[in-house]
Amino acid sequence: MKYGHFDDVHQEYVITTPKTPLPWINYLGCNEFFSLISNTCGGYTFYKDAKLLRLTRYRYNNVPADINGKYLYIKDGDTVWNPGWQPTKTELDSYECRHGIGYSRFTSSKNGVKASVLSFVPLNDNCEISQLTLTNGSSEDKKLSVFSYVEWCLWNADDDMKNFQRNLSTGEVEVQDSTIYHKTEYRERRNHYAIYSVNTKIDGFDTSRDAFLGAYRGADSPEAVENGKCTNSMASGWSPIASHQINVDLAAGETKTFIFVLGYIENPEDEKWESYGVINKTRAKEMLAKYQTDAQVEEAFAALQAYWKQLLARYTVDSADEKVNRMVNTWNQYQCMVTFNMSRSASYYESGIGRGMGFRDSCQDLLGFVHLIPDRARERIIDIASTQFQDGSAYHQYQPLTKKGNSDIGSGFNDDPLWLIAGTSAYVRETGDTSILTQMVPFDNDMSVAAPLMDHLKRSLDYIINHKGPHNLPLIGRADWNDCLNLNCFSAHPGESFQTFGPSEGPVAESVFIAGMFVKYGEEYAQLCELMGDADEAARARKEVQAMYDAILKDGWDGDWFVRAYDAYSHKVGSKECREGQIYIEPQGFCVLAGVGVKEGLAEKALNSVKERLDTKYGVMILQPAYTEYHLELGEVSSYPPGYKENAGIFCHNNPWVSIAETVLGRGDRAFEIYRKTCPAYIEDISEIHRTEPYVYSQMVAGKDAKFYGEAKNSWLTGTAAWTFVNISQYILGVYPTHQGLSVDPCIPKGFGDFSITRKFREGTYHIQVKNPQNVEKGVVSMTVDGKAVDGHIIPYEKGKEEYNVVITMG
Ligand code: BGC
Ligand code: IFM
């Protein structure tokens, strides 16, 4: 069942009912100011850091779900309604929400009045604009009142929902003309405040939540709206809000617009006060002056659209498969941008107060983002590397505002170091910019101990080399990519604090997955060494890679698939020797995509085992059989009920690893089958089962052992976005950046037909036509570049050249 449809022309998803199975959200903002906005106008706003600089409050665990947003109420006689349906939930005569690229547009009507709200964050200002257009489509003149409503968060969102003894006494506001200023905390060391303004004279306001809503009421029935009159309340402590009242006379057929601006302002120290206690409003007024007229808003909106157009034009495909075109050209790349910006911090499943930026997560997000804005990728790599320790290990997370490693969580996830090589290699292959490798980067953010980035990568590699276990496989530490495989740490309560009172032999658990990563990224590191003219170091790395390869074949192979790990007692995990959890997806995908076992014929066996044992109609499960009991020696993985999350869920993130692995073997049909099963555009018509947004990937779909088999959770912020984009763009469609130039080597399903790709790469635009007269799955028989035959399938990069016309013939 569908709750809307794709509009490919406008690159929008059109939601036609507010009653979607779960809130279906969008993200506004590209740089530092962000809003989450659901299809019923729920969501919240923050500047840079969802935990530390939260502008508006969101209410977690609320019933009904998704309450608190930026609401507009329309009072028409006795009827009060919202263009996004919530919170009044007044039945609408029509409703539509269009989630677009960096904007959302709501169009609804009630009793002859049509309201359209366009919300977006303009490119160069820290604010969200909501342009309300009201049209009286009835034959009578109307006297309406419009009420806006946002509830301020007292900045630190974590403290905001805990520290009531203090917070209920700190709230402060100012009101001047049509602008409400939220200045809580300004009187201490702070230099920031928020504003909510509208471009017209107002007929009243409220800044006290209790005054606006009334005692014992919620946002679904504000007393002020019911009375048709704000109370001009001035909040002092308690819960400050911002509400404007605008009385609107709307003649039959007439249209009026209003521009609401929610903004964040930072004043330098010397401009803080107009007079003590009265904030300096100059910068706020300058910002507001830019968004006073419809023409200004239209211009800002056009600029945002143009910005996105040129970004998404960096990789486009034109094939006979409209779903592939739709995902590649729009939604997958869009989700890559959002995950790059948010890491795993703020979504409807990540509270924004828990995690900051993840080390491994952000490195992987780079893989799907680096072709869009390489400069921002560069900056991110430096930020991430700056949280590395001198021994090559790394903080698992860091806070985006401070960019400092998070010591509550610390380090010890032994896959982390290698992801830095992955991200850096992707950046250098994309841009050819080797200057990043010589840039001095601190350890643990301490500039007095710094080293060139290349040295950081060496330490990443050496960390693995220096931390091997009894089978010469990498030690897993607290966990590897699979956070829940806690083989050394027996956590008393799964998911809570880890205690390392492991077995007396010490933390010797090993990971075959990290071994596969080492083979892949050890080789990428060696290539970087060669680029830097260090042949000796490249040779050293390759020798280590070979040793790891051999160790995998010796002790990481189980007969029909790769072993997952060795636990702290050196027992196999993910082996036919186990009663449950016999086969795991991660080492099958990653070892094979790294090339392990290909020439020995093991890779094919491993992938056939995946198909036989892990495949479902909704995607490939992470392991089988599911753990039915809790295992102290395995940790959190066995804490989930069977079929959910890391315990036999369909973890979408590593489905592309298996799909890529299939392309390594040249099996295009199977690679595409795996791609298709989790692909949002392909499963749109089972939205009542899948439930999360049909335009983006979710982290997990419940596996076949789960009660709600096929139901997705944790949409938006997942490494699935980057990895599926890497898979479809670089392996299936086959346009892969190498240090020498773009390689084109597709691996497609039979019957996919000819297709063309336009790809911006360094200074050039590549127009690539792929012909497949023999209908093969893989193989390039010839290539011409600008009409001239070129051997192989790497388009030689020519510095400064702007246009390349390439024809590839498969066969
Ligand atoms: C979740 C994982 C997550 C980890 C770290 C676990 O409870 O299941 O998906 O990565 O916590 O936050
Ligand atoms: O790899 C992790 C990721 O860092 C966070 N989400 C879950 C994944 C698998 O455990």
Say if CB 182 and CB 194 are below 8 A apart: yes
Q: What is the pLDDT of residues 700-736, one digit of tens each?
A: 999 999 999 999 999 999 999 999 999 999 999 999 9
Instruction: Considering every ligand atom shown, identify the ligand nearest to the alpha carbon of residue 480 and give its number.
Output: 2
What secondary structure does DSSP assign to 152-205, as a single string?
EEEE-HHHHTT-HHHHTTT-BEEEETTEEEE-TTTTTT--EEEEEEESS--SEE
The reported pLDDT for the residue numbered 743 is 98
Residue ID of nearest Cα to ligand 2 atom 4: 361
Instruction: Considering every ligand atom shown, identify the ligand nearest to the alpha carbon of residue 344 and give its number.
Output: 2
Q: How far is the CA of 541 from the centre of ligand 1 (A)?
A: 32
Residue ID of nearest Cα to ligand 1 atom 7: 495
Say if CB 748 and CB 672 are below 8 A apart: yes
Model confidence at 518: pLDDT above 60: yes
Q: How far is the CA of 517 from the centre of ligand 2 (A)?
A: 15
CA atoms within 13 A of residue 749's CA, in its CB half-sphere: 16
Q: How far is the CA of 69 from the centre of ligand 2 (A)?
A: 29
Q: How far is the CA of 388 from the centre of ligand 2 (A)?
A: 19
The CA R_g of the chain, rounded to the nearest whole Å, is 28
The reported pLDDT for the residue numbered 60 is 87
The reported pLDDT for the residue numbered 489 is 63
Residue ID of nearest Cα to ligand 1 atom 3: 483
* Mean pLDDT of all residues in 793-797: 98
CATH 2.60.420.10 in the chain, residues?
A: 735-810
CA atoms within 13 A of residue 370's CA, in its CB half-sphere: 30
The reported pLDDT for the residue numbered 490 is 53
Q: Residue 421: enclosing H or E segment and its boundaries? A: helix 416-431
Q: Which CATH architecture has domain 31-309?
A: Distorted Sandwich (2.70)
Q: How far is the CA of 482 from the centre of ligand 1 (A)?
A: 8
Least confident interval from 370-374, 402-406, 588-592, 615-619: 402-406
Q: How confident is the model at residue 788 (pLDDT cuts 50, 70, 90)?
A: very high
Ligand 2 and 360: CB distance under 6 A: yes
The reported pLDDT for the residue numbered 641 is 98
What is the residue whose two structure tokens read 């643990």?
Answer: 444
Burial class, 290, CB count within 10 angstroms (exposed 0-12 / middle 13-18 / buried 19+): middle
Say if CB 121 and CB 262 are below 8 A apart: no
Instruction: Please state the atom number of ligand 2 nearest to the C-alpha of residue 651.
Output: 9
Say if CB 57 and CB 66 are below 8 A apart: no
Which CATH number fits the domain 468-678, given the four candidates 1.10.800.10, 3.40.50.1110, 1.50.10.10, 1.10.3720.10? 1.50.10.10
Instruction: Please state the atom number of ligand 2 nearest to the C-alpha of residue 646.
Output: 10
Residue ID of nearest Cα to ligand 1 atom 12: 483
Q: How far is the CA of 361 from the centre of ligand 1 (A)?
A: 12
Q: How confident is the model at residue 506 (pLDDT cuts 50, 70, 90)?
A: low
Of residues 62, 53, 20, 19, the one with CA closest to residue 35: 53
Ligand 2 and 415: CB distance under 6 A: no
Say if CB 745 and CB 732 are below 8 A apart: no
Report the percent of the chain where pLDDT is more than 90. Answer: 93
Q: How far is the CA of 484 from the centre of ligand 1 (A)?
A: 6
Ligand 2 and 361: CB distance under 6 A: yes
Out of 484, 634, 653, mutate this one to test ligand 1's pocket (max ligand atoms within 8 Å of CB): namely: 484
CB atoms within 10 A of CB 21: 16
Q: How far is the CA of 482 from the centre of ligand 2 (A)?
A: 6
The reported pLDDT for the residue numbered 355 is 82
Q: How confident is the model at residue 492 (pLDDT cuts 50, 70, 90)?
A: very low
Q: What residues have CB less than 8 Å from 405, skipping those under 6 apart? A: 387, 394, 395, 397, 398, 444, 445
Ligand 2 and 416: CB distance under 6 A: no
The reported pLDDT for the residue numbered 64 is 87
Instruction: Considering every ligand atom shown, identify the ligand nearest to the alpha carbon of residue 339 and give its number.
Output: 2
Higher pLDDT, 745 or 490: 745
Instruction: Please state the atom number of ligand 2 nearest to the C-alpha of residue 479.
Output: 10
Q: How far is the CA of 453 from the centre of ligand 2 (A)?
A: 25
The number of residues in the chain equals: 811
Say if CB 296 and CB 115 are below 8 A apart: no
Q: What is the pLDDT of residues 179-227, one digit of tens each?
A: 999 999 998 878 999 999 999 999 999 999 999 999 999 999 999 999 9
Ligand 2 and 484: CB distance under 6 A: yes
Of residues 191, 152, 180, 160, the one with CA closest to residue 280: 191
Residue 728 DSSP code: I
Terminal CA-to-CA distance of the chain, rounded, Å?
40
Q: How confident is the model at residue 496 (pLDDT cuts 50, 70, 90)?
A: very low
Q: How confident is the model at residue 356 (pLDDT cuts 50, 70, 90)?
A: confident
Tokens for 238, please give them. 């308690």
The reported pLDDT for the residue numbered 502 is 41
Residue ID of nearest Cα to ligand 1 atom 4: 483
Q: What is the CATH number of domain 735-810?
A: 2.60.420.10
Q: What is the pLDDT of residues 262-313, one digit of tens each?
A: 999 999 988 989 988 899 999 999 999 999 999 999 999 999 999 999 999 9
Angle between helices 332-342 and 294-312 (to 10 degrees): 100
What is the reported pTM? 0.97
Classify residue 645 as left (phi > 0), alpha (psi -120 to 50) or beta: left
Tokens for 388, please give them. 């590395």
Tokens for 754, please give them. 């000819």
Instruction: Please state the atom number of ligand 1 nearest to the C-alpha of residue 355.
Output: 12
Ligand 2 and 443: CB distance under 6 A: no
Instruction: Considering every ligand atom shown, identify the ligand nearest to the alpha carbon of residue 586 and give its number.
Output: 2
> Per the residue annotation, which of 66, 480, 483, 567 is the catalytic one?
483
Of residues 551, 540, 614, 626, the one with CA closest to residue 581: 626
Out of 343, 408, 483, 640, mutate this one to test ligand 1's pocket (max ligand atoms within 8 Å of CB): namely: 483
CA 317 to chain centre: 22
What secondary structure does DSSP assign to 532-568, as a single string?
TT-HHHHHHHHHHHHHHHHHHHHHSB-SSSB--EE-T
Instruction: Please state the atom number of ligand 2 nearest to the C-alpha of residue 482.
Output: 10
CATH 2.70.98.40 in the chain, residues?
A: 31-309
What secondary structure does DSSP assign to 268-337, as a single string?
-GGGSEEETTEE--HHHHHHHHTTSSHHHHHHHHHHHHHHHHHHHTTEEEE-S-HHHHHIIIIIHHHHHH
Model confidence at 795: pLDDT above 70: yes
Instruction: Please state the atom number of ligand 1 nearest to the C-alpha of residue 645.
Output: 8
Whole-number Å distance between alpha carbons of 582 and 574: 4
- Mapping DSSP to helix (H, G, I), strand (E, B) and coil, where does residue 407 land? coil
Q: How far is the CA of 637 from the centre of ligand 1 (A)?
A: 9
Q: What residues have CB less than 8 Å from 345, skipping those under 6 apart? A: 49, 50, 51, 352, 354, 355, 356, 357, 400, 717
The reported pLDDT for the residue numbered 185 is 93
Which regions of 374-508 does DSSP assign to beta strands (E)?
397-398, 440-443, 446-452
Instruction: Please state the atom number of ligand 1 nearest to the C-alpha of residue 494.
Output: 7
* Mean pLDDT of all residues in 396-404: 91
Higher pLDDT, 675 or 410: 675
Ligand 2 and 481: CB distance under 6 A: yes
Q: How far is the CA of 646 from the centre of ligand 1 (A)?
A: 9
Q: How far is the CA of 419 from the centre of ligand 2 (A)?
A: 13
Query: How far are the Cα atoms of 203, 532, 650, 741 from residue 364, in angstroms, in the given order?
Result: 51, 24, 19, 22
Mean pLDDT of the chain: 96
- Mapping DSSP to helix (H, G, I), strand (E, B) and coil, where does residue 735 land? strand
The reported pLDDT for the residue numbered 493 is 44
Instruction: Please state the atom number of ligand 1 nearest to the C-alpha of residue 700.
Output: 9
Which residues are bridge partners to 116 per DSSP? 107, 133
Residue ID of nearest Cα to ligand 2 atom 9: 482
The b-or-e profile of 525-537 (16+ CB within 10 A means b, else e) is: bbbbbebbebeeb
Residue 686 DSSP code: G
∠ Cα 34 260 168 (to 5°): 70
DSSP β-ladder status, 615-616 and 127-136: unpaired
Ligand 2 and 482: CB distance under 6 A: yes
Instruction: Considering every ligand atom shown, identify the ligand nearest to the alpha carbon of residue 359 and give its number.
Output: 2
The reported pLDDT for the residue numbered 65 is 87
Instruction: Considering every ligand atom shown, identify the ligand nearest to the alpha carbon of residue 360 and give its number.
Output: 2
Model confidence at 483: pLDDT above 60: yes
Say if CB 769 and CB 810 are below 8 A apart: no
Ligand 2 and 584: CB distance under 6 A: no
Q: Which residues line ligand 1 (CB under 6 A)?
A: 483-484, 495, 636, 645-646
The reported pLDDT for the residue numbered 93 is 98
Q: Give yes or no: 483 in active site.
A: yes
CB atoms within 10 A of CB 54: 26
Q: What residues have CB less than 8 Å from 643, skipping those under 6 apart? A: 626, 649, 702, 703, 704, 705, 706, 707, 709
Whole-number Å distance between alpha carbons of 23 and 18: 9
The reported pLDDT for the residue numbered 277 is 85
Out of 355, 362, 419, 482, mutate this one to test ligand 2's pocket (max ligand atoms within 8 Å of CB): namely: 482
